[in-house]
């Protein structure tokens, strides 16, 4: 049985995590003063079913969800709309990930729709460079998607920990990301949120593209003229808002990612989102570091072409991008071989510690 102080703490947590508003919490607190337990008080004073109220109390406001058929393990990450848990499916013994939609997001129709669509879409897609999806399910008021568990960490985690990548290493990873995006393009889809935080790298150095929450059919315009994606990685046409989804926009975001991987900063930085968006649209890209860090002219060419303000000047397809980057990698391997360093024939995956997790 929950103690009074514990119940009040849990009530505050329910407000903090978005399950209850302040007015609703006050009504629940008053009902508790009349002698009701927290679960019964919520059942009386909120639209929640008694079963859901009991679930919220049992799981400490959803922090430790209990879902039939799964042994729920640790939380691997929390995003703006969801939380990710490592679980074991009891029926099969398979380790997987549950991505659980948060309470605030569940009340937002567009977010809820996007979450369900992402789960359904992933279940239909199969590519080595995409995290696998196993569908969307619901338990009571809880909506979650089932995903492949990936042993590894994001590119952003690696950048935060070890700094920049070697040029060949960065380009080899770029090719893998481009191949996954090419597969999406062949399915008439664009990702629209390409960034280091959405690119996992496994222990074997393989790339897994995650989070298709902003994924859309090619040429599908953003609703209400809004910019979709992460501000620091938006193409100029996306930054203006209302632009149709296009592979060249993803190529721009991939160029920002390549620049960050090799230089260690973002190409456009400012005070606040509006300033960064303005720079993406108006300011010419320039980076003295590209010429001063013993980086090849070819890398400078790739980044400048991918970050051109005009979509028509960028690489027009992933096939074109992959062909040129692989040509550079092959030339680099041949040069290393003639100089007596054949061990660099295949770029090594980035080194990382044993700690691993998957982000939402």
Return the active site residues.
193
Spatial CA neighbour of 266 closest among 191, 210, 275: 275
DSSP string of 290-353, one letter each residue:
HHHSS--HHHHHHHHHHT-SSGGGS-SSHHHHHHHHHHHHHHHHHHHHHTT-GGGGSPPPPP--
Structural contact between residues 230 and 214, judged by C-beta atoms closer than 8 angstroms: no
Q: 353 — alpha (psi -120 to 50), left (phi > 0) or beta?
A: beta
Q: How far from 59 is each of 55, 89, 207, 305, CA to CA, in Å?
A: 6, 19, 34, 51
Spatial CA neighbour of 237 closest among 322, 314, 184, 324: 314
Q: 229 — alpha (psi -120 to 50), left (phi > 0) or beta?
A: left
Structural contact between residues 209 and 254, judged by C-beta atoms closer than 8 angstroms: no
């Amino acid at each position: 049985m929950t103690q009074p102080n514990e119940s009040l703490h849990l009530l505050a947590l329910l407000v903090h995590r978005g399950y209850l508003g302040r007015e609703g919490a006050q009504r629940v607190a008053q009902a508790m003063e009349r002698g009701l337990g927290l679960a019964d008080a919520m059942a009386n004073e909120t639209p929640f079913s008694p079963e859901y109220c009991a679930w919220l109390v049992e799981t400490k406001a959803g922090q430790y969800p209990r879902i039939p058929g799964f042994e729920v393990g640790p939380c691997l990450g929390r995003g703006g709309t969801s939380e990710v848990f490592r679980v074991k499916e009891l029926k099969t013994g398979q380790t997987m990930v549950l991505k659980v939609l948060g309470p605030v997001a569940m009340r937002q129709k567009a977010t809820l729709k996007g979450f369900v669509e992402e789960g359904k879409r992933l279940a239909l897609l199969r590519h080595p460079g995409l995290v696998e999806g196993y569908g969307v399910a619901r338990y009571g008021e809880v909506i979650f998607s089932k995903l492949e568990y990936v042993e590894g960490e994001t590119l952003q985690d690696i950048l935060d920990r070890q700094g920049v990548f070697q040029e060949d290493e960065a380009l080899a990873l770029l090719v893998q990301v481009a191949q996954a995006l090419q597969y999406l393009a062949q399915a008439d889809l664009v990702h629209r949120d390409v960034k280091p935080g959405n690119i996992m790298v496994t222990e074997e150095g393989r790339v897994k593209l995650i989070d298709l929450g902003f994924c859309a059919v090619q040429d599908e315009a953003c609703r209400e003229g809004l910019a979709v994606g992460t501000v620091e990685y938006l193409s100029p046409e996306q930054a203006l808002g209302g632009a149709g989804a296009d592979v060249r926009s993803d190529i721009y975001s991939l160029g920002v990612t390549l620049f960050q991987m090799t230089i260690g900063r973002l190409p456009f930085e400012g005070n606040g989102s509006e300033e960064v968006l303005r720079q993406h649209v108006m300011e010419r890209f320039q980076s003295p570091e590209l010429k001063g860090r013993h980086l090849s002219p070819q890398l400078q060419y790739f980044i400048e072409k991918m970050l051109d303000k005009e979509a028509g000047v960028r690489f027009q397809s992933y096939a074109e991008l992959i062909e040129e980057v692989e040509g550079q990698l092959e030339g680099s391997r041949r040069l290393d071989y003639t100089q007596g360093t054949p061990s660099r024939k295949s770029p090594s995956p980035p080194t990382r510690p044993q700690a691993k997790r998957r982000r939402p």
